Structure 1
Amino acid sequence: MDAYTVLLVVIPLLTAPVTAMIANRHLAWAISLLSTATVTVIAYILFREVSSGTVIHYELGGWKPPWGIEYVIDALNALVALIVGVIATLALLYGKKMAEREIHDSQLHLFYAAFQLVMLGLLGMALTGDIFNLFVFLEISSLSSYAIIAMGQKRQALVASFNYLIAGTLGATFFLLGIGFLYAASGTLNMADIATHFKQFESMTLVLTALLFMLIGLALKAAAFPLHSWLPDAYTQAPTMVTVFIASTSTKVAVYVLLRCLYHVFPQDYWGDTLLPDFLLLSGCLGMLYGSYKAIRQISIKRLLAYSSVAQLGYMVVGIGLNNDAGLTGTVLHIFNHAITKAALFMAAGIIYYRLHTTNLEHLRGAGKTMPWTLAAFALGGLSLIGVPGTAGFISKWYLVQGALAQQNYVVAAVILIASVMAILYVWKVIEALAFDGKTKLHVHQVGSGKDIVPSMPAATVVCYVMVLACLYFGLYTQLPLEAATTAVTSLIETGGAR
C-alpha cells in the first residue's frame, strides 16, 4: 500500500514527457486520460485506507526523515488528492472537443503534457511531508498553469497568464524566503521534525518572519482577498478545460497547504493568540462580500463565476480564522464541495461558450430555451453555490455558521448569511437572462454555417451532469466528505492544538 503513494506523482511524471513527444492529438489525449484515471483510482484506494484515521508514511529512496523526503498520507491530503484526480479525469472527458477548437493542433500534445504537469504539481503539494519539496511541486504546478492559460484563443489570455505569472512569482518568492528563514532557525525541512522541535527555536524573531512570509506567499497562491487580482482574468481567458480544472483544484490545494503549515508546521499555540486569526476572519469576510458584489456586477458568466470563487475562498479562510473544530470542518468540507460545485458551473458555462461563442449575458437572452439541459445544470449547480439545503454547499456553510456561533461571533455568522443571499442575486442574474429575456427561440445550425449556435455535445453534457448530481448527492449523503473532514480536523486539533 505504501508504494501506491509515490505512484500518484510518478505516473504523471512519466506520462507527461511521453505525451509531449506524441504529435497525434487523439493519442496524446488518450494517454493523458489514462494517466489521470489511474491516479484517481490509486487516490481512491489510499483515501479508503486512511479515511478512518490511519496515516501512511513513505520514505523516498529509503532515506529516513528528516534527512530524506517523506510522503505522508492522511485523511485530509488523501481527500485533496482524490479531488485533483477526479476533476482532472472529468475535465479531460468533458473538454476534448473544446480543446481541439480553442487550441491549435500543433500545440495540443504540449497542452496535454502541461495539463498533466499541473496535476503532478498539485498532487505533490498535497502529499509531501518536506516543506522544500512542497515548494518544488508548487513551482511545477504554477509554471505549467501559466503555459496552459496562455494557450487561450484570445490575446487577453497572454495578458492574464502574464499577470498570473507575476503574482505567482511573488507568491513563490515569499514562500521560498519563508522556508529559508525557517530552515535557518530549525536546521530541518521535514514538517513533522520542525513541529516536534519547535519549542527549541520558537522565540527567534526569524521564525515569526518565516510565518509571515509563508502566509503571504500562500495567500497569493490561494487568491485570498486582497491578493486575488490575478484570478478573474486567469479563469475568464483560459481555455475552457483549463478553467474547469484550475478553478476546482488549484486554489483549494493552496488552502490545504495553508492549513498544513498552520497546524502541522507552526503549532496553534504559537500563532493562535496573535492577531492572525482576526486578520484571517477580516480577510475572509471582506473576500466574501467583495467577491459577491463584483460577481453581481459582471455581464460575463465566466467572469461572474471567477469573482464568485473569490467569495467562496473567503468562506474557507474564515473557517481557518475561527480556529475551532466546527470552523475547520467547514473549511475542509468547502474545499470538497466548492470543487465539485464550481466544476459543474464552469462546465455549464463552457457548453454555452462552445455553442454560442460567448458568455456575455447581453448576447445570451433566451438561450436557455434552446439549451434547457444546460440551463437546468447551471441552476442546480447554482443552488449548491448558494447553499440551499439538500445540496453540498449547504453542509459546509452550516458548519461555518456553527463555528462562528460557538465563538459568539455574530458578525461573521451574519456575513456568511449575507454573502449567501448575494449569491442568490448573481446566480439568478444568469438564470433570468438565459430563461426569460429572449423574444424568440434560437435554432441550432451546423458548424460553419455562419449562424448563431452550433450543435450540442452529448459527452460534455453528461460529464457536466455527473458533477451536478454530485452536488446533490453529497448534499443528501454526506458520509464520505464529512467522515474525511472530521478525521482530518481531529488530526489538526491533536497536532496543532486548535481550540
Structure 2
Amino acid sequence: MLSHLPILQVIVPLLGAPACLILGRARLAWAFSLLVSMLSLFMAALLLLQVHDTGTISYALGGWDAPWGIEYRIDLLNAWLLLIVAGSSTLALLAAQTSISREIAAEKQVFFYVAWLLCLAGLLGILATGDAFNVFVFLEISSLSTYTLVSLGKDRKALWAAFRYLILGTIGATFILIGIGFMYMMTGTLNMADLAQRLPAINDSYTVVAAYAFIIVGICLKLALFPLHNWLPGAYSQAPSVVTVFLAASSTKVAVYLLIRFTYTVFPANFRAGDFPLYDIFVALGVLAVFMASAAAIYQGNIKRAIAYSSIGQIGYMIIGLGLGSAMGLQATLLHLFNHALMKAALFMALAAMIYRVGSAQLSDMKGLGKQMPWTSMSFVLGGLSLIGVPLTVGFVSKWYLVSAAVAEGRWPVAFLVVFGSLLAIAYIWRVVETLYFQKPSETALTVKEAPLPFLLPIWLLIIGNLYFGIDTRLPVVITAEAAMTLMGGTP
C-alpha cells in the first residue's frame, strides 16, 4: 500500500467527491469530507518522511514507464506542498459545517463538499504529477471547483466575483496550455523530467522562449501576482468564509510551486540566466506587490477584503525570494509558503468566527468584540503579529531569511524595502485591533458570544503553529534548505 501513496494521494479525494452525493445529507458529507482530508494529510506526511529518508519517488501509472506513460514524481518540493495543502484543507473543514450553516442554503451544502473534495484532488494532482499536460488537467479540475465554491457565497456579489475569477483563470489556463503545446511541438514529450533533458539542446529557439513566456504569464495570473491580481480580492472577500481560509492557505501556494517547478526543473539554468532580466523582473514585481497591496489593504472597510489584499503583498515576498536567484532566496520563498499558510489561515479563520457571530465582515460592525469574543480576538492579534513579522512568530522567520538572502546577494535596497513593507502591515492590522479593543461596542455587539468550539479548535491549532514554528524552526528550515539546494542543482 505504501508504494501506491503517490496515486492514492489524488485518487482518494477524487473518488470521495461523488461519494458525498451518495451520502446525500450535509452532516454526513461533512464528516466524510473531513475523514478524506485527514487521510490525505496522513499520506502527505508519510510521503514527506519517505522522500526525506530515501529520495525522490517515481510512480508509473499502469506500469508504463516514463516518458511513454504518465509519471507521478514526488520530491522534497512537492512533498512539502502536499503537506501544506492537505493540512489547510483539514483545518478548514473542522469549522466548515458550523460556518456554512449560516452562509449556504441547506440544499446546496452537499454540493459544497463535492466541490471542496474536487478542488483538493485537483491541487494535490498538480503537485504530484510529473506530466506537464496533467498539470493542466488538474489545474482545470481545481479551478472549476474553486469557481463553484466562490459562487456559493451568501451575497449575490459572489456570483460576479466567481465569474470574474473564471474569465481571468481561463485566460491563465489557456496561456499555460499554449506554452505546454509549444514545448511538446519542439520536444515530442510531456514528461517534465524528459523535458528537462531535451530543452537545453534547443533553448535558443524562439518557440521555447515563447513557451516559457506563455507559461509564466499564465501561472502569474493564477498566482495573482501584481498587476495580474484583480480577481483575488473579490474572490476571497465574497467566498464563504471557510473557502477563503482554504484558498488563502493553499491555492496561491500551488501556483508558486508551478512557477518554481517550471523555472528550476523543466527549463534549463542557462535559459533563466540569459539576456532577459527575468530575476530582476520578479524582484520588481514582488516589491510593487508588497507596497501596492499593503496600501490598498489600509483603506478597506471590509476586513476580509483587506486581508485578501494582504495576501497579494505576501505573494510579493515569495516572488522577491524567487527573484534573488540564490539558494537562500529560494529557501526563503519555500519557508514563506508554509509560514504564510499558517498565519493567513489563522487570520481568515478568526474572521470567519467573527462573521459567524456578527453576520458581517465590515470593520464598523466589529466594535468592541475584544471583550465579547476574547479568544477569537486574541487569535487575530497573534496572527496579525505573525503577519507583521514580530520575533517568535513564523512571519519573522520568513522575513529574516528573505532579508538575509538579499544582503548576501548585495541587494541592500531590496532588504530595506522588505523591512519597510513589513511595517506597512502594522497599519491595517492595527485598524482591526483598535476596533476590537478600543471602540465602544454597539448594542448588537453586546449580545455577541464567543465563537463555538468548531471555530476555536482550528484557530488555536493554527496560532500554536505560528508560535511553535517561530521558535523551533528545525523542521521547516531543514526541509526547505534541502529542497532549495536540490532545485539549484546541488546535493542536500
User: For this structure pair, what is the TM-score category when the shorter chain's length is used for normalisation?
Assistant: over 0.9
Distance apart, 1:429 and its partner CA:
1.1
The 8 Å contact of residues 370 and 441 in structure 1, kept in 2 or not, is answered as no
After TM superposition, the structure 1 = structure 2 runs for residues 437-452 of structure 1, keeping only pairs within 5 Å, are: 437-438=439-440, 445=447
Distance apart, 1:454 and its partner CA:
5.6
- Alpha-carbon separation, structure 1, partners of 2:19 and 2:441: 51
Q: Which amino acid aligns with 2:111?
A: L
- Alpha-carbon separation, structure 1, partners of 2:200 and 2:27: 55
Q: Tell me the equivalent position of 2:56.
A: 55
- Alpha-carbon separation, structure 1, partners of 2:441 and 2:425: 27
Q: Tell me the equivalent position of 2:200.
A: 199
Residue-by-residue CA offset, 1:255-310 (whole Å, 9 max, x unaligned): 01100000110122112232111111111000000111111111111011000000
Which of 461, 464, 469 is equivalent to 2:456?
461
The 8 Å contact of residues 119 and 145 in structure 2, kept in 1 or not, is answered as yes
User: Taking structure 1 as reference, are residues 229 and 53 closer, same or farther at Cα in structure 2, changes over 3 Å only?
Assistant: farther
Q: Tell me the equivalent position of 1:450.
A: none
| Count of aligned pairs | 489
The 8 Å contact of residues 374 and 450 in structure 2, kept in 1 or not, is answered as no
Which of 359, 362, 366 is equivalent to 1:360?
362
The 8 Å contact of residues 23 and 106 in structure 1, kept in 2 or not, is answered as no
- Alpha-carbon separation, structure 2, partners of 1:70 and 1:23: 35
The 8 Å contact of residues 372 and 449 in structure 2, kept in 1 or not, is answered as no
Q: Which amino acid aligns with 2:203?
A: E
Higher mean displacement: 272-281 or 136-145:
272-281
Q: Which amino acid aligns with 1:62?
A: G
After TM superposition, the structure 1 = structure 2 runs for residues 18-167 of structure 1, keeping only pairs within 5 Å, are: 18-52=19-53, 54-167=55-168
Distance apart, 1:14 and its partner CA:
1.1
Q: Which amino acid aligns with 1:22?
A: L
Q: Tell me the equivalent position of 1:486.
A: 481
The 8 Å contact of residues 366 and 441 in structure 1, kept in 2 or not, is answered as no
Percent identity, aligned pairs only, is 46
Q: Tell me the equivalent position of 2:176.
A: 175
The 8 Å contact of residues 367 and 442 in structure 2, kept in 1 or not, is answered as no
Residue-by-residue CA offset, 1:187-234 (whole Å, 9 max, x unaligned): 110111011122222121100000000000000001011100000000
Q: Tell me the equivalent position of 1:259.
A: 260
The 8 Å contact of residues 376 and 451 in structure 2, kept in 1 or not, is answered as no
Distance apart, 1:91 and its partner CA:
0.7
User: Taking structure 1 as reference, are residues 299 and 443 closer, same or farther at Cα in structure 2, changes over 3 Å only?
Assistant: closer
Distance apart, 1:443 and its partner CA:
6.0
- Alpha-carbon separation, structure 1, partners of 2:450 and 2:432: 21
Distance apart, 1:440 and its partner CA:
6.7
Per the alignment, in what secondary structure is the counterpart of residue 197 of structure 1?
A: helix
The 8 Å contact of residues 369 and 441 in structure 2, kept in 1 or not, is answered as no
Residue-by-residue CA offset, 1:102-133 (whole Å, 9 max, x unaligned): 11111111110110010001001111110100
Higher mean displacement: 153-162 or 16-25:
16-25
Q: Which amino acid aligns with 2:425?
A: A
The 8 Å contact of residues 392 and 474 in structure 1, kept in 2 or not, is answered as yes
- Alpha-carbon separation, structure 1, partners of 2:54 and 2:383: 31
Q: Tell me the equivalent position of 2:396.
A: 394
After TM superposition, the structure 1 = structure 2 runs for residues 316-327 of structure 1, keeping only pairs within 5 Å, are: 316-327=318-329
Where structure 1 has 5 or more consecutive residues not aligned to the other structure, the ranges are 446-452
Distance apart, 1:46 and its partner CA:
0.8
- Alpha-carbon separation, structure 2, partners of 1:20 and 1:411: 54
Per the alignment, in what secondary structure is the counterpart of residue 72 of structure 2?
A: strand
Residue-by-residue CA offset, 1:347-385 (whole Å, 9 max, x unaligned): 000111110111211222212121111110000001111
- Alpha-carbon separation, structure 2, partners of 1:149 and 1:439: 31
Q: Which amino acid aligns with 2:31?
A: A
The 8 Å contact of residues 387 and 393 in structure 1, kept in 2 or not, is answered as yes
- Alpha-carbon separation, structure 2, partners of 1:437 and 1:230: 33
After TM superposition, the structure 1 = structure 2 runs for residues 162-311 of structure 1, keeping only pairs within 5 Å, are: 162-273=163-274, 274-311=276-313
Residue-by-residue CA offset, 1:33-79 (whole Å, 9 max, x unaligned): 11101111011011111135611110001111111111111111111
The 8 Å contact of residues 171 and 221 in structure 1, kept in 2 or not, is answered as yes
Distance apart, 1:4 and its partner CA:
1.0
The 8 Å contact of residues 72 and 127 in structure 1, kept in 2 or not, is answered as yes
- Alpha-carbon separation, structure 2, partners of 1:202 and 1:130: 20
Which of 333, 351, 367 is equivalent to 2:353?
351
* TM-score (norm: length of structure 1): 0.96
The 8 Å contact of residues 161 and 238 in structure 2, kept in 1 or not, is answered as yes
Per the alignment, in what secondary structure is the counterpart of residue 58 of structure 1?
A: strand
The 8 Å contact of residues 53 and 75 in structure 1, kept in 2 or not, is answered as no
Per the alignment, in what secondary structure is the counterpart of residue 488 of structure 2?
A: helix
- Alpha-carbon separation, structure 2, partners of 1:225 and 1:59: 38
Q: Which amino acid aligns with 2:90?
A: T
Higher mean displacement: 455-464 or 212-221:
455-464
Q: Tell me the equivalent position of 1:472.
A: 467
- Alpha-carbon separation, structure 1, partners of 2:332 and 2:440: 39
* TM-score (norm: length of structure 2): 0.97
Distance apart, 1:166 and its partner CA:
0.6
User: Taking structure 1 as reference, are residues 443 and 382 closer, same or farther at Cα in structure 2, changes over 3 Å only?
Assistant: closer
Q: Which amino acid aligns with 1:42?
A: M
Residue-by-residue CA offset, 1:159-206 (whole Å, 9 max, x unaligned): 000000011000000000000011111111011101112222212110
Where structure 2 has 5 or more consecutive residues not aligned to the other structure, the ranges are none
User: Taking structure 1 as reference, are residues 66 and 42 closer, same or farther at Cα in structure 2, changes over 3 Å only?
Assistant: same
User: Taking structure 1 as reference, are residues 411 and 105 closer, same or farther at Cα in structure 2, changes over 3 Å only?
Assistant: same
Higher mean displacement: 164-173 or 22-31:
22-31
Per the alignment, in what secondary structure is the counterpart of residue 72 of structure 1?
A: strand
1:373 matched to 2:375:
yes
The 8 Å contact of residues 367 and 445 in structure 2, kept in 1 or not, is answered as no
User: Taking structure 1 as reference, are residues 53 and 205 closer, same or farther at Cα in structure 2, changes over 3 Å only?
Assistant: farther
Distance apart, 1:246 and its partner CA:
0.5
Residue-by-residue CA offset, 1:445-466 (whole Å, 9 max, x unaligned): 5xxxxxxx36631221121011
Distance apart, 1:397 and its partner CA:
0.9
Distance apart, 1:439 and its partner CA:
5.5
The 8 Å contact of residues 51 and 483 in structure 1, kept in 2 or not, is answered as no
- Alpha-carbon separation, structure 2, partners of 1:181 and 1:89: 38
Residue-by-residue CA offset, 1:227-252 (whole Å, 9 max, x unaligned): 00000000000001100001110001
Per the alignment, in what secondary structure is the counterpart of residue 23 of structure 2?
A: coil
Q: Which amino acid aligns with 1:345?
A: L
Distance apart, 1:21 and its partner CA:
3.0
